[in-house]
Chain A
Amino acid sequence: MRKRSGRAERLFVLGVVFALAAGEARAAEAKVKTLAAGLSYDYFSRTVVWKGDTASSKILANMVSARADFGLGKDLVFSLSAGLSLTDFKGLSFGSLPISLQFDGAPLKGLALGAEVAAPFMKFGDFEISATGRVVLSFGMSKTWPLEGFAVEGEAQGRPNWMEISVGPRFAYLLFGRVVPYVEVSARWLRAVFRMTEILDELDGVEKKQVNGDISFGVSLGADATVSDRLAVKAKAGIMPFAGGVDGLISFGLLYRF
């Protein structure tokens, strides 16, 4: 695996920080003008190579969150979300522990926190281009598995955390009235850490698996639909192609405008 320059990763983080900071600054200028709250569901799959591994494996993440969208004027929208994540790490192996472990269990629960900003910056004709940025963090809950069949009692304990940052432009078409379809192109940066502890009587070990800044590029089709004066639906589906396969993402939200 070639070592990747950290420059692009730093640029990502800077980009998102900049976008969020810009949102904050504009929020300070213009007070919250609209507020919407609701539920959202997000899913993504990422094919990654964990540091030190030779084979790729998949991370499948599902998140259900409560979400609040703050309209800050000039069509700038800043969102916060908090909820539950279920992340599947099937096939991930921990080969440096005294007894190698391979994860093949149910998805692991976690606390998901997210922040998102969409800031329109250009309009031409019936189109609008926005800059979007999103950060999602999942703080995994610790899970313990008994290690059975050994001559002594033992257990393994794992805790996964991950963070995904995505930035990119959104091209929206405004002339459909209540439905605003868009195409979004995003660069998605993922960092994941899965810490596994193994204890077998007097034998113990800790292994930390890491994905340090895996970057994928995706394109999504989505739409923001106003169902009524109060209800809005947001939906998005996309793909993240890579040589030999395609990862996917789905997002769906139902919001009530106050």
Chain B
Amino acid sequence: MKTPFKRSLKVFAALLVILFFGLGTSDGGRVRQNKRIGRISRRPARDLRVERPVVRRRTPRYASDRVLVRFRPRVHRSYAEGLLRSYGFPSVRRIPAIGVYSVRTAPGVSVTETLAMLRRNADVEQARPDYRTRLADIPNDQYFAMFQYNLRNPGGILDLGDDIQLQAKANADIKASAAWDAVKGDPEVVIAVCDTGVDMTHPDLAAKIVSAGHDFANDDDDATDDHWHGTHVAGIAAADTDNSTGIAGVAWKCRILPVKVTDATGDGYYSWVIDGIIWATDEGADVINISLGGDFDDPFLEDACKYAHDHGVVVVASAGNDTAYINYPAAYDSYVLAVAATDYSDEVADFSSFGPEVDVAAPGVYILGPAPQWYVGIGDPPYLFGSGTSMAAPHVSGMAALIMSLKPELKPAEVMKVIRYTADDVNRAAYPGRDDHAGYGRINMQRALVPYILK
């Protein structure tokens, strides 16, 4: 009895070794050795082994050897620290200001096990993983940190020179840098700027221009800016970003289609705007920014906006700077997003027009944007600060372009709703909920573009 048993045991052990080392690796050939499962497993096994290495694995969401703990208020500090020592944690560091301990987990004990152990203790108020952080994407553009409060507002004094010093409120911005982590824009997504034209040689715009555009004021194929307004608006929406030059645009990588619909004085006619909207739509624009408007309702202008909307274009227009009724085409509620202006403290600008058609607000006071060199004068940097709902609208256009880059399957009406519903109700103290001044609120790109975490 003894000998066969020992022999069997050896055979069993040998079989174990063969099976483990033969099949426990990623070698598909080994799998084929077992004829019984070979026919079933051969091809899928090979597919899997090729496929998985190319997959980017998610980085851990928290430190693998550290947790954060807070004790209940009644627990004395010395007792708490003694308790933590008794768990055998190699190091314990107290963060005095908030009474939290950063604790290194015991060797061989996972974060999950450590948290479970701590949470079982009635003296522990909260035990949490030490979640990872990452730098939000900050572009290296020269003026971004200093002047572009509209994109990222650290608060404090905003010194614009010429004795203009403004007290900015931290986070009174559109949360652009957090959103850029999720999307920087698709170069195929085009923002048409129906305005005074665009300076296509500007160092912050030249690389972003789709074509020379069209000039409906002079009826030619050169939409070069002979004012400054269109260049400024185009730059706010989609200036060349992270190029160590000038400013950052809202839509880093999206491109600009210049459409000139005013003359050199900045005035135009509805017919030019109508032509511009239809031309931009037919040229394949995804977003049309209209930082201008008129006082009169006009069915033809509305039809042009409907044409664009029905062809998958998001139309964004400035509400107006008259502290009065909303301009047209901004007032065409079904087809156009009407944008009011807020300032560096998230207050609605005193010039911003209001009415039930206002959808959202965006920063529109002292906004830095590009300007033609000839306009600012030789020797000065080709940028200027501008104020108005004209400056607010391109923030929304840039945001719409980013949404369309990330979710190309969304229809214009859905993009408009995303922009509205994700806004911050900045004037809720005076007008809670949607109101006629800021609409749904100041746009929040982070809320629209960064995934919402389901807890």
Using CB atoms and an 8 Å cutoff, list the residues of chain A in contact with chain B.
1-2, 4-5, 7-9, 11-12, 15, 47, 49, 54-57, 91, 93-96, 98-105, 125-127, 145, 147, 149-152, 154, 156, 158, 167-169, 171, 173, 175, 181, 183, 185, 187, 200-203, 205, 215-217, 219, 221, 239, 241-245
Determine the chain A residues whose CB is within 8 A of the CB of B441 once the complex forms. 151
Using CB atoms and an 8 Å cutoff, list the residues of chain B in contact with chain A.
4-5, 8-9, 11-12, 15-16, 19-20, 23-26, 31, 34, 36-37, 39-41, 43-45, 47-53, 55-58, 61, 182, 406-407, 409-410, 414, 417-418, 420-425, 433-434, 440-441, 447-455
A105 to B9, CA, bound (A): 47
Number of A-B contacts (CB under 8 A): 176
Whether B454 pairs with A102 at a CB distance below 8 angstroms is yes
Determine the chain B residues whose CB is within 8 A of the CB of A187 once the complex forms. 37, 40-41, 44
Partner of A102, one of B55, B417, B453: B453
Known: A95-B407, A99-B447; 15 extra A-B contacts, CB below 8 A, are A4-B47, A5-B47, A8-B44, A49-B52, A49-B55, A56-B55, A91-B61, A151-B441, A167-B37, A183-B16, A185-B23, A200-B417, A203-B418, A205-B414, A244-B57
Whether B417 pairs with A202 at a CB distance below 8 angstroms is yes
Whether B44 pairs with A4 at a CB distance below 8 angstroms is yes
Assuming the A-B contacts A11-B39, A242-B26, are A219 and B20 also in contact, with contact meaning beta carbons closer than 8 angstroms in the complex?
yes
Majority secondary structure of chain B interface residues (helix, strand, loop or mixed): helix
The residue in chain A whose Cβ has the minimal distance to the Cβ of B50 is A2
> Closest Cβ of chain A: how far from B64's Cβ, in Å?
15
Determine the chain A residues whose CB is within 8 A of the CB of B449 once the complex forms. 100
Partner of B423, one of A151, A175, A181: A151
> Closest Cβ of chain B: how far from A124's Cβ, in Å?
10
Whether B40 pairs with A100 at a CB distance below 8 angstroms is no
Pairs across A and B, CB under 8 Å, 18 listed: A2-B47, A4-B47, A57-B58, A98-B414, A100-B406, A102-B451, A125-B4, A126-B12, A151-B433, A169-B36, A185-B19, A185-B37, A187-B41, A203-B417, A215-B45, A241-B24, A244-B57, A245-B57
> Closest Cβ of chain B: how far from A142's Cβ, in Å?
13
A43 to B19, CA, bound (A): 22
Determine the chain B residues whose CB is within 8 A of the CB of A205 once the complex forms. 414
The residue in chain B whose Cβ has the minimal distance to the Cβ of A93 is B451
Determine the chain B residues whose CB is within 8 A of the CB of A173 once the complex forms. 8, 12
Determine the chain B residues whose CB is within 8 A of the CB of A149 once the complex forms. 447
